[in-house]
Amino acid sequence: MATVNDSIMKEIYIKLCEIGCCKLCALRFLGETQRAAFIEYQKTLIIKGYENETEIENVYKIQKSNPCISCLGLLEKSVVEDSISKVSEAIAREDYDSKTFSAALTLPVSFQLRAHSMSIYLQNNYPDIFKAIFQLGVVTINVKDVWKWIVGPRLEAVISKSFDINSDFIITLSFHYIDDLTEAHTLNDLGYNSRRIRRPRHQKGVDLYSRKGVDNFISSISKEDFSRAFDIPPKIPSESIHCNSVSLQHNPIFFAGRYNKLCRDLPQTPWLIDGERRIENSIQEIICVPLIKLTKAENPKFSASGREDVDVRTLGRGRPFAIELLNPHHTCFSFEQLKKLENEINREGRDKLAVRYMQLVDKNSLEALKEGEEHKKKTYCAYCIVFGPLPSGLDELPSLAPITVSQKTPIRVLHRRPIAVRSRVVHKIKAIPHVSSSESNGPSFFKLYVTTQAGTYIKEFVHGDFGRTTPSLGELLGGVSIDILALDVEDISLDWPPPVSYKEENKNVS
């Protein structure tokens, strides 16, 4: 901040108090930027020479019982105490276990109008000093910052959580000002209605004036035009703002693991047709219900590295999956709790589903679940049937790989997938005879092991889907008609999430 004569600064301080600013806001308008200066503002005022030790009260303020013309009483003791009390009640009621918190304030539109009015007042009356103090032409410290500096430590003590601006647990305090709509209406005289950026919301009242819209509007008009509609400086308010609601929200957390599907009658997600459930349970529900119980989250979002058909098993290491949990209340878990969660899911899954490696993961690590979707490999085992003797070319299949196949969207998924032609690669292929018929028209069976590019339709590769997949297995074997009886996913070549050992005790995951 540029050096300004101390006597001039005191003169401005006195004037700011005369027009109705509180001492904290006066410090903001005098260019103070240090957190400690606001926390111990009375000491700061004495050090800077704005007041002396014998001045118990600010004798310059016109109506000491009235709120500040700038912060509308946001920083005064009674409003602060009431806000802290409401936060404490909300925390006790909703039981979030986060060890940290951040705070957000939703303030009336009048704050924006009054801040702009004060900026114009300072520029009009002290142009050189305003320019020297605020090189960017705006007051450096926002009233929200001052509130967090002085209220943050108080909240820490009351709710037993540490204030952290980057915390995932956000406490939002919404404030109401009785004359907000009246003051906002002054913008209509300047043409705000015709230049509003967004349409008004359906709700009545001050919601007609979006904060973004007001900011853009007042920055687009001249100081002279604004001064015609709004008092410079702002008039002293008759009532303070008050905290009318406190909302608590935790950012999503993410769980990951791998699942084995051990049966042929379990869909990955709830199977509903025309609003009617066709199968009683799903992989998503078996995993998510215990998770919601543990975390007290509002809603789960399940995703996996691909999906198997309802009649296909997933064996081997299992299929990687992740679950996004919205607004969880409980987010700190011991390894023992995670192992207990895994056991509960497996009990619920019985002989149908088993999970492993259940763990909390960072959101950024979820990219591994989706990236390379076109390039990672999957290994399958298909139990196939041929009506007649086994084809003579089974032994030669391995030498044909890699094989590029062209697949039109299968008939069985046309109702939910767009028509397209996709090229996929079969990297490895091998057949092992199982039962060979001695009759010309009798059935023969063999197991087919294939490793393919992710996204390959294996059933259609086997039977051809009426020529929509070429070449099909039957074509590769000389035009033989082949069908598939059962299919298993044996491996998904994605090493994510990492294996977890639950042997460590008393170690929290958060």
| 282-333 tens-digit pLDDT | 999 999 999 999 999 998 999 999 999 999 999 999 999 999 999 999 999 9
| Predicted pLDDT of residue 374 | 64
> 112 and 192: one domain?
yes
Of 230, 249, 268, the residue that ends a domain is: 249
- CA dist 183 and 185 (Å) reads 5
| Predicted pLDDT of residue 189 | 84
Q: Let me know if 128 is a catalytic residue.
A: no
User: Are 323 and 497 spatial neighbours (Cβ–Cβ below 8 Å)?
Assistant: no
Residue 5 to residues 9, 10, 48, 60, 129: CA-CA distances in angstroms?
6, 9, 11, 21, 10
Tell me: the pLDDT tens digits for 392-448? Answer: 999 999 999 999 999 999 999 998 889 999 999 999 999 999 987 767 778 999 999
CATH of the domain at 429: 3.30.70.3190
Does residue 376 have a pLDDT over 50?
Answer: yes
Half-sphere exposure for 472 (CA within 13 Å, toward CB):
22
Nearest 5°: CA angle at 494, between 491 and 498?
Answer: 110
How large is the average pLDDT for residues 220-225? 92
> 136 and 227: one domain?
yes
> 107 and 234: one domain?
yes
Residue 101 belongs to some domain of the structure: yes
Q: One of 309, 351, 362, 488 is an active-site residue; which one?
A: 309
Residue 237 belongs to some domain of the structure: yes
| Predicted pLDDT of residue 59 | 46
CA 24 to mean position of chain CA atoms: 35
CATH of the domain at 334: 3.30.70.2510
Q: How many domains does the chain have?
A: 3
| Predicted pLDDT of residue 509 | 47
> 320 and 354: one domain?
yes
Residue 238 belongs to some domain of the structure: yes
Residue 24 belongs to some domain of the structure: no
> 328 and 383: one domain?
no
Q: Which helix (H) or strand (E) holds 119?
A: helix 109-125
> 166 and 120: one domain?
yes
Residue 18 belongs to some domain of the structure: no
Residue 100 belongs to some domain of the structure: yes
Within 437-502, strands assigned E span 443-453, 469-470, 482-492
> 289 and 244: one domain?
no
Structure tokens at 406: 């062209």
- CA dist 404 and 407 (Å) reads 10
Cα Rg of the chain (Å, integer): 34
Domain around 425: 377-492
> 338 and 483: one domain?
no
CA 1 to mean position of chain CA atoms: 38
Residue 431 to residues 113, 370, 477: CA-CA distances in angstroms?
77, 31, 11
